[in-house]
Chains A and B, each alone.
Chain A
Amino acid sequence: MSNVKISTGHEGTAKDQITAYFQRVKSGDMGALPAVAALLVLTVIFTAASPAFFLKPINVANLFVQAAELTMLAAAMVFVILLAEIDLSAGVTGGVGMAVFFRLMQAGMNWIPALVLGLVVGAAIGFIIGFFVSKIGVPSFVVSLAFFLGFQGLQLVLLGEGGLFRVDVPPINAIMNENMPPIGGWITLAVALILGLLITGYDRRRRASHGLPNRPYSLVILKYGAIAVIGGIILVVMNVNRSANVFKPIQGVPYVIPITLAILLLGSMVLDRTRFGRHLYAVGGNPEAARRAGIKVAKIRIISFIICSSLAVVSGLFHVSRLGAVEATAGRQIVLSGVAAAVVGGVSLFGGKGRLMHAAIGALVITIISNGLGLLGWDAGSNFLVTGGVLLLAATVDALSRKRSAGSQVRV
């Protein structure tokens, strides 16, 4: 045995760590950085262009609510994009799940089991797509395109031509349209911070008990401090009364935000901390290597498609909540924005690279573009053009950074 010490990446001062981070960024490992930068730039531009409206509490609240539906769909998509697959049917899958939910309720079922069955239908759809992709070997682009077309028909069959039916379930309508009492927001933020700190503390203790070094405390404080400050600012804005009607105040964080964040955090835990998550990344990075390591690649693929379709139904639920209705055409438009959001957020279409939070950041970018341009009175056409341009830019950054990290090494 020798006494050579190989580092673990946790050594050094906060400054060393930050230097190392920028080195990784430089070598092409940029993560959400471009999207976060875009978010800031767009915020500055739109605030300057529309100072009277853009950062108004009412608009900020609208922004988050609009982004939530897209975030959920993009997050769904992340699970399959990480495998270098795609699910073009995710949007209409959400629509089908909600159509089933509605018909069951109409047939007299209580909304809770009806919703559960809607989710089960989503999971079943994911299983079928995953089966075709992994067991039969049909490219996911084609399978999901077929389902995209077929499910538009199924929605019409379930709800009828031009079908639009009111959904009057208070808890469901509340998701997008009601707000937590102001104190609720603070409690949520506090709980989130405490949970995060507990997990970090647990990890650090475990490392320490193995004699492994930990990153300096200052970084932990920096991270959670940033979350606390940003979260706090958003809360302050959200807790301002944004109603034009003096007799009916509107204030607080829309329920959809903690719901979305909870799902994203749970999903991130699955991706980062479970064997399934690890295997998912491995299959996305090198399926053959994963197979040789004894990973059941087909199983991983199928589970990923199941998660994708199930979360797509959740996104569909958000849509129903916002509209207060199910519609036969739900999910057709939004699906491509979902893919775009994930890619803009920094999830690589080549597979193996990306996180759930990227979906949220990408969705915010896309939502801000349409919201901001709308405030400026630009038409839908320019919105599509700008969004398309941003997507192309993001995909280019992805491809180039891939090239760069491939170029910075000697390949076997």
Chain B
Amino acid sequence: MEVPVIELQDVKKSFGPVDVLKGINFKAYAGRVTALVGDNGAGKSTLIKGLAGVQPYDSGTVKFDGEVVTIHTPRQAGHLGIEVVYQDLALCDNLDIVQNMFLGREEIKALTLNEATMELQAQKALESLSVRTVKSVRQKVSSLSGGQRQTVAIARSVLRQAKLVILDEPTAALGVAQTEQVLRLVRTLADSGVAVIIISHNLADVFKACDDINVLYLGKMVASLKTKETNQADVIGYITGLKTAEGDDK
């Protein structure tokens, strides 16, 4: 069996009395796009915040490339090669594309920022993803459209040579063409050997872009399926709780 890039075993998280994650098992593989679906409040964002080190889990085991790791800070996640593109993108509007892409990992030479190297690498990363819509890498992010911002956020993870890229609702705010573009970008990324996790409410997108589908229902992983072996009706059943893990309809 291939070793998953990331594997979660019995992961739990609660906020005070509210159990948000109730013992999750989850795997994602290199070169594959893994979907994480579930209704609002199912715990999807909470699950990935744990992987990002933004909001550590209360208990459970996290394995990265088969080894048990602890991820308590974004820095630790970054060192492992985990990059997250958040729902809100987490870009600094007042900085330009290059500055955003290198935020927290600036190239330094002679004690000062090596702008030329950063600019060149940012340009290359965007070009490797066949990004056409961005005019200049020195544009302020505040002047970009939703899709362009998404693109910048994804390109940032390319730049950092991530092993695992997590995208929280990457297409939620996008139009048809921009959605297409982002999904193509995701495929390009996975084909380059990265493990990609996508959170999405759009099943059409999920079936188009993902290899595996995991369904969260009220803090429990109720299904882990291969896209090829399932269909939208089944997945909707799991999401809404009409279908259970055992496979029989209620």
A284 touches B127 (CB 8 A): no
User: B33-77 interface mask toward A, CB cutoff 8 Å, 1 = contact, 0 = none?
Assistant: 000000000000000000010100000000000000000011100
B12 contacts chain A at the CB level, 8 A cutoff: no
Name the residue of chain A whose CB is nearest to the CB of B143: A409
A213 to B237: give the CA distance in the assembly, Å.
56
- The answer to whether A292 and B138 touch (CB under 8 A), given A2-B127, A281-B95, A408-B143, is no
Q: In the complex, what residues of A have CB within 8 A of residue B134's CB? A: 6
B123 contacts chain A at the CB level, 8 A cutoff: yes
A6 touches B92 (CB 8 A): no
A282 contacts chain B at the CB level, 8 A cutoff: yes
A294 contacts chain B at the CB level, 8 A cutoff: yes
Q: Which of A164-172, A202-210, A248-256 contacts B (4 or more CB under 8 A)?
A: A202-210
B139 contacts chain A at the CB level, 8 A cutoff: yes
A27 touches B113 (CB 8 A): no
B108 contacts chain A at the CB level, 8 A cutoff: yes
A353 to B94: give the CA distance in the assembly, Å.
7
Q: Which of A49-57, A234-242, A270-278 contacts B (4 or more CB under 8 A)?
A: A270-278
B95 touches A8 (CB 8 A): no
Tell me which residues from 54 to 113 in chain B have a Cβ below 8 Å from any Cβ of chain A. Answer: 54, 73-75, 78, 84, 86, 88-95, 99, 103-106, 108, 111-113
A290 to B105: give the CA distance in the assembly, Å.
11
User: A5-26 interface mask toward B, CB cutoff 8 Å, 1 = contact, 0 = none?
Assistant: 1111110000000000000000
Q: In the complex, what residues of B have CB within 8 A of residue A284's CB? A: 94
B127 touches A282 (CB 8 A): no
B228 contacts chain A at the CB level, 8 A cutoff: no
- The answer to whether A292 and B54 touch (CB under 8 A), given A9-B136, A212-B120, is yes
- The answer to whether A295 and B94 touch (CB under 8 A), given A6-B126, A9-B136, A405-B143, is no
Q: Which of B22-30, B144-152, B197-205, B212-220 contacts A (4 or more CB under 8 A)?
A: B144-152
A278 to B130: give the CA distance in the assembly, Å.
28
Number of interface residues of B (CB under 8 A): 53
A293 touches B103 (CB 8 A): yes
User: How many interface residues does chain A have, given as a range?
Assistant: 35 or more
Q: Of A1, A294, A353, A409, which is within 8 A of B127 by CB?
A: A1
Q: Nearest-CB distance from A67 to chain B (Å)?
A: 28
A289 to B138: give the CA distance in the assembly, Å.
19
- The answer to whether A293 and B74 touch (CB under 8 A), given A8-B137, A282-B103, is yes
A409 touches B144 (CB 8 A): yes
B116 contacts chain A at the CB level, 8 A cutoff: yes
B187 contacts chain A at the CB level, 8 A cutoff: no
A284 to B130: give the CA distance in the assembly, Å.
32
Q: Nearest-CB distance from B234 to chain A (Å)?
A: 31
Q: In the complex, what residues of A have CB within 8 A of residue B130's CB? A: 2, 4
- The answer to whether A289 and B103 touch (CB under 8 A), given A2-B127, A6-B127, A353-B94, is yes
In the complex, the 9 A-B pairs of residues with the closest C-beta atoms, listed nearest first: A293-B104, A9-B138, A285-B94, A352-B94, A285-B92, A289-B90, A294-B104, A293-B103, A273-B112
